[in-house]
Homo-oligomer: A and B are copies of this chain.
Amino acid sequence: MKHVVLRAVLQAPPTAADFVVCAAPVPACPAGGVLAQVLFLSLDPYVGARLRGRHMGEPPPSPNVEPIPGAVVGRVLESDAVGIAPGDFVHSMMGAWGEVVAIGPGMARRIDPELAPLSAYLGVLGMPGLTAWAGATKLAKVGSGDVALVNAAAGAVGGSVGQIARLKGAERVIGIAGGPEKCGLVVDRYGLDACVDYKASDWPSGLDAALGGRGVSVHFENVSAAMLAAGMSRLSPYGRVVLCGLADHYQAETGSAQIPIGLIIVKRAQVHGLVVYDFYDQWDAFLREAAPWVRDGRLRIAEDVATGLDNAPAHFEKLMQGRNVGKSIVVVNAE
């Protein structure tokens, strides 16, 4: 089988040339775990930080030895796990960029291929969807009357945040995304009320126009301190802010992103830090609510798909550059 490793310790944000696809022995099935053939591999922005040791304190994988970490959906080849049998489909956050992966005890979840397309378990029903659901429903508690603003709105997390805010009864949901193609996706496919293209020179005026004089009651931040300040300056009193991630800063070389304390006080803002790990134990509750939305077409999916593990490095570079439109996925083996 093949897997993908780093060529060397990274000195800069990763590009396709930093990865090597190479032959590797098929791993053994771990005690209490499963061995799975990877069908779909998820490419996610946090991995860019993870590969440089900048994500939640986790060390980067050893070059040329350890495969790149990543979430996967696979078909079980061997199982030593209770309740999981060969032939079952599983999702795991602890997979890797490989054709076959060994998943440790408790790290694989059985998934139902009847409920939703299998690749959805990497996106709207996967970690990005859980992130969006936790932020929108558990922290910000979006409900009727809310005016919600989300950036990276065409992305896997942002797209779900916007749609979940709408499904939860928000009065108005506005996205921010880069370029007309992404903005089209946000409005036409995800059904948000408006999408502001931050690559347009007058985008702050565009945002004001989209708000039409309303204040933002829920702001969901995925991008940067500058975007956060733009959203928070338009917050209504006691507006809720969810800090999910700062994609722009994952790659930054210097400094740390900051919020002005005065802005929080003047707006009486309620700011929440979100780490999706804390909600892994609510994955079943999330799926009970969100899977019917997917089945009924109310929570819609957009994917940016590459085929074959050989194409994972270039597809990841595309994601790092923000050129993906929809959830970035590699089809590793056909179902």
Are the CB atoms of B278 and A237 closer together than 8 Å? Answer: yes
Knowing A259-B258, A259-B259, A260-B256, the reply to whether A273 touches B278 (Cβ < 8 A) is no
Are the CB atoms of B258 and A260 closer together than 8 Å? Answer: yes
Chain B neighbourhood of A260, CB < 8 A: 256-258
Report A202-245 CB contacts with B as 1/0, cut-off 8 Å: 00000000000000000000000100100000000100000111
Are the CB atoms of A262 and B268 closer together than 8 Å? Answer: no
Docked CA distance A278–B275 (Å): 31
Report A251-264 CB contacts with B as 1/0, cut-off 8 Å: 00000111111101
> A116 at interface (Cβ–Cβ under 8 A)?
no
Q: Which of B243, B265, B266, B268 contacts A264 (CB 8 A)?
A: B243
Are the CB atoms of A261 and B246 closer together than 8 Å? Answer: yes
Are the CB atoms of B262 and A256 closer together than 8 Å? Answer: yes
Minimum Cβ distance to chain B for residue A157 (Å): 14
Chain B neighbourhood of A258, CB < 8 A: 258-261
Report A82-106 CB contacts with B as 1/0, cut-off 8 Å: 0000000000000000000000000
What are 22 pairs between A and B in contact, CB < 8 Å?
A225-B261, A237-B278, A243-B261, A243-B264, A243-B265, A256-B261, A256-B262, A257-B260, A257-B261, A258-B259, A259-B259, A264-B271, A264-B272, A265-B274, A266-B273, A266-B275, A267-B273, A268-B274, A268-B278, A269-B271, A270-B273, A271-B271
**Which A residues form the contact surface with B (CB < 8 A)?**
225, 228, 237, 243-246, 256-262, 264-275, 278
